[in-house]
Amino acid sequence: MRVLGPVPGAVSVAEFKRATHMDEGTEDDAALAACLAAAQSLVEQATNRPLGPREVEITLEAVPGLRRWWFPLRAGAVGGAGGGRDRNGGAGV
């Protein structure tokens, strides 16, 4: 799987400052943004789940006899509320 384009941040610097009651201008925004991106990356790697939506490219080699396979998805992740999903929560391909 390859992520196409930049990974969107789960939390912006402004949202973080508001949530933690930091005064505007008390921290270097670029350094804070880098720390938030590093924290997001760590959580995503540890949980093996993205924290937000992103566009990805998935490739796989053809396997003889493999005719159908499934992507596990969260509710509403494809085609709106439950669209494009099977009864077990996967998206058929």
Q: Are residues 39 and 71 in the same domain?
A: no
Q: Which H or E run contains 91?
A: strand 90-92
Does residue 35 share a domain with residue 16? yes
3/37 same-domain check: yes
Please indicate, yes or no, whether residues 53 and 67 belong to a single structural domain of this protein.
no
Is the C-alpha dihedral spanning 74, 77, 78, 82 positive or negative?
Answer: positive
Whole-prediction pTM: 0.60
**18: containing domain:** 1-59
> What is the 3 state secondary structure string of 5-56?
CCCCCCCCHHHHHHHHCCCCCCCCHHHHHHHHHHHHHHHHHHHCCCCCCCCE
Residue bearing tokens 């969107």: 8
Same domain, 43 and 72: no
51-85: pLDDT as tens digits: 888 888 888 788 888 777 777 766 665 554 444 44
Condensed to tens digits (0 to 9), the pLDDT of residues 17-57 reads 889 887 766 678 899 999 999 999 999 999 988 888 888 88
Would you say 62 and 18 are in contact if contact means Cβ atoms under 8 Å apart? no
Q: How far is CA 29 from the centre of its chain?
A: 23
Q: Are residues 93 and 50 in the same domain?
A: no
